Amino acid sequence: MRWRAGETDSRTDTTFLLFSGCVYGNECDVVASKCEHSSVLLKGLQSSMMSEGSSFMKGMILGGIFCLVMAFFETFNSGTHSEGREHLHHHLKPVSKDELQKLSESQMSDWTLQVRVYCLIMVTPKLLVHWATANDTWSKHCDKSVFYTSESSKALEAIDLQEQDEWARLRKAIKHAYENAGDLRWFFVARPTTYAIIENLKYLVLDKDPSQPFYIGHTEKSGELDYVEYDSGIVLSYEAMRRLIEIFKDEDRCPERGHALWKTPEEKQLATCLKYTGVFAENGEDAQGKGLFNKKSVSSLISDSMGQNPADVVEACCSDMAITFGGMSPSQIQVLMYGVYRLRPYGHDFHDSLTFLPPNDSDND
């Protein structure tokens, strides 16, 4: 365990240190220490008071508690360290309309070729119905979509990674995707319970260079760690993937199987590993600042908006260019598919700078 006093945010850490270090000693000498060292330190502080064995025992017990508490906070803070500098771009927006209009034809076609997406969809046998729905709906709009499963199952057509642990499975899928990317430079990771509008994902990353590291989605904070929420989909550029593959080799910083007593969710493990390579989570939002990645369903968001903004429900709710929604049933997803790609009022046309054609052999878009 590496921990530097004074560099941790958690007030409780400091309190415990002070408590442990100051109760028995005359000086509250705070130094960098490993867990064992802290017990020794405490014992040392008490050496002057070792007249009775009970003091020694108290010291040991206190040191032991201290050690456990440190380990506890260690896993929550995910080993943040002084190398992390403040990242400047936490919010990521699509290219503006003005910028798009300035582009030449050739630049536009370059960008169209560059912005192609490999979808990694992580399934398990119990999600069979959602697998079928994703397979029949939004995944058809990825330039390449691959389903990865924990174990094989009848009717489930997916690459069997033969791995029950979620984090280990995600690592394997990422490796497989990177090796089979061909000339695709953007990667989208989601579970089949998420619905994605790939065209809007492309629009978001259109002017971003995939040879730069990008890690985008709906960001949340856990202590000092900014991570992208899994439920609303994770976007990674080619460079971010490359760096991930590299750090996967580092068993200390980015272990395949965690050493903690409890499991850290894979979304946070991913964020931690990426942070070691200098890649930070960015929140995808539209020009007005509305989040593009949602883990809630459309009806849930509309319902929330009806409570909070009754005068302007739809305007306040969700972006026109939303990318993901979560927690929707298969029939709701099929209705959403119709709502996105088909249902529209006659006469409302848009002069978009890019063109995305409907996929072949599909009848629901």
Partner 1 sequence: MTFDCQSLSVSKLNSNILIAENRRAALEFSQKVRVLCWVMTQPKHLKSRTQHVRATWGKRCNIVLYMSSEASDFPTVGLNVSEGRSQLYWKTIRAFQHIHTHHLDHADWFLKADDDTFVVLENLRYGLSKHNAEEPLYFGRRFTPFVAQGYMSGGAGYVLSKEALRRFVKGFADGLCTHNTETEDVGLGKCMETMKVQLGDSRDVLGRQTFHPYPPDYYLPRQTPRLRPWYLLYEHYQPVEGPGCCSDLAISFHYIDAVQMHTLEYYSYHLRPYGYKYRFKLTTLLSKKLMTLALETQCKTRKALVNPDFGCHSFTEERTSVCLIVMRLRIDGKRSFPNLRVMNDYY
Cβ contacts of 59 within 8 Å, gap of 6 or more: 24, 39, 42, 43, 45, 46
State in angstroms the smallest separation of the CB of 315 from partner 1.
8
Q: Does 155 bind partner 1 (CB under 8 A)?
A: no
Q: Does 80 bind partner 1 (CB under 8 A)?
A: no
State in angstroms the smallest separation of the CB of 323 from partner 1.
10
Query: Which segment (54-62, 120-128, 197-205, 217-225) binds partner 1 by CB under 8 A?
Result: 197-205
> What part of residues 203-262 is at the interface with partner 1 (CB under 8 A)?
203
Q: Using the minimum distance from each CB to partner 1, give the nearer residue, 87 or 344.
A: 344
Q: Using the minimum distance from each CB to partner 1, give the nearer residue, 189 or 292.
A: 292
**Secondary element (H or E) of residue 270:** helix 266-276
State in angstroms the smallest separation of the CB of 346 from partner 1.
4
Q: Using the minimum distance from each CB to partner 1, give the nearer residue, 60 or 335.
A: 335
Q: Which residues pair with 190 in a beta bridge?
A: 121
Q: Does 307 bind partner 1 (CB under 8 A)?
A: no
> What part of residues 310-329 is at the interface with partner 1 (CB under 8 A)?
313-314, 317-318, 320-322
Q: Does 298 bind partner 1 (CB under 8 A)?
A: yes
Cβ contacts of 205 within 8 Å, gap of 6 or more: 115, 186, 214, 216, 235, 237
Give the span between the Cα atoms of 352 and 200, in whole angstroms: 12
Q: Using the minimum distance from each CB to partner 1, give the nearer residue, 271 or 317.
A: 317
Q: Does 142 bind partner 1 (CB under 8 A)?
A: no
Question: DSSP for 182-218?
Answer: TT--EEEEE-TTSEE-HHHHHHHHTTS-TTS--EEE-
Q: Does 343 bind partner 1 (CB under 8 A)?
A: yes
Give the span between the Cα atoms of 294 and 290, in whole angstroms: 10
State in angstroms the smallest separation of the CB of 152 from partner 1.
25
- What value, to the nearest 5°, has the Cα angle with vertex 112 and ends 110 and 115? 105
Q: Does 353 bind partner 1 (CB under 8 A)?
A: yes
State in angstroms the smallest separation of the CB of 66 from partner 1.
52
Q: Does 305 bind partner 1 (CB under 8 A)?
A: yes
Q: Does 6 bind partner 1 (CB under 8 A)?
A: no
Q: Phi/psi of residue 144, each to 5°? A: -145, 130
Q: Could you give the angle at which helices 53-77 and 11-24 cross, rounded to 10 degrees?
A: 170
Q: Does 299 bind partner 1 (CB under 8 A)?
A: yes
Tell me which of 102, 221, 348, 361 binds partner 1, using CB under 8 A.
Answer: 348
Q: Does 330 bind partner 1 (CB under 8 A)?
A: yes
Long-range contacts of 4-8 (CB under 8 A, 24+ apart): 4/32, 4/81, 4/82, 5/30, 5/31, 5/32, 6/30, 7/81, 7/82, 8/73, 8/77, 8/80
Give the span between the Cα atoms of 23 and 62, in whole angstroms: 10
Tell me which of 26, 155, 288, 347 binds partner 1, using CB under 8 A.
Answer: 347
| Residues at the contact surface with partner 1, assessed by CB under 8 A | 136, 141, 197-200, 202-203, 298-299, 302-303, 305-306, 313-314, 317-318, 320-322, 330-332, 334-358, 363-365
